[in-house]
Amino acid sequence: SQKIEQNSEALNIQEGKTATLTCNYTNYSPAYLQWYRQDPGRGPVFLLLIRENEKEKRKERLKVTFDTTLKQSLFHITASQPADSATYLCALEIRSGAGSYQLTFGKGTKLSVIP
């Protein structure tokens, strides 16, 4: 069965440093992968989508890479700020037939940026 793993449950980092979060998956070849941010008591908020034919995508201080050979995505936050503290979720699409899909989420990495 498909499995998606975010290798750290929690990550502490000093303000101003680059945070790097990892998402690994097995037994599947997704057409794309998404990253979301979730704050306590709230629903996840979409950050970035990267397709299988894209190696890297950037948005302001965020960067996502997608290595389909390693079956891994890396999510970077440069110049991290305390406001970046949240849980970050990766999600990949599972296709189960024509026009049918579902997003499978990792359990998330809780990032804490220390001032």
Partner 1 sequence: KAGVTQTPRYLIKTRGQQVTLSCSPISGHRSVSWYQQTPGQGLQFLFEYFSETQRNKGNFPGRFSGRQFSNSRSEMNVSTLELGDSALYLCASSLYGDYNEQFFGPGTRLTVL
Q: Is 1 helix (H, G, I), strand (E, B) or coil?
A: coil
Q: Does 26 help bind partner 1 (rule: CB under 8 A)? A: no
Which of 25, 106, 109, 113: binder of partner 1 (CB under 8 A)? 106
Compute how many residues bind partner 1; rule: CB under 8 A: 24
- List Cβ neighbours of 30 (8 Å cut-off, separation of 6 or more): 52, 92, 93, 94
Q: Phi-psi category of 99—alpha, beta or left, where left has phi over 0 and alpha has psi -120 to 50? A: left
Distance CA(83)–CA(4), nearest Å, equals 27
Instruction: Tell me which residues in 28-57 interact with partner 1 (CB under 8 A).
Output: 31-32, 34, 41-46, 49
Q: Between 1 and 69, name the residue whose CB sits nearer to partner 1.
A: 1
Instruction: Tell me which residues in 65-104 interact with partner 1 (CB under 8 A).
Output: 89, 91, 93, 96, 99-104
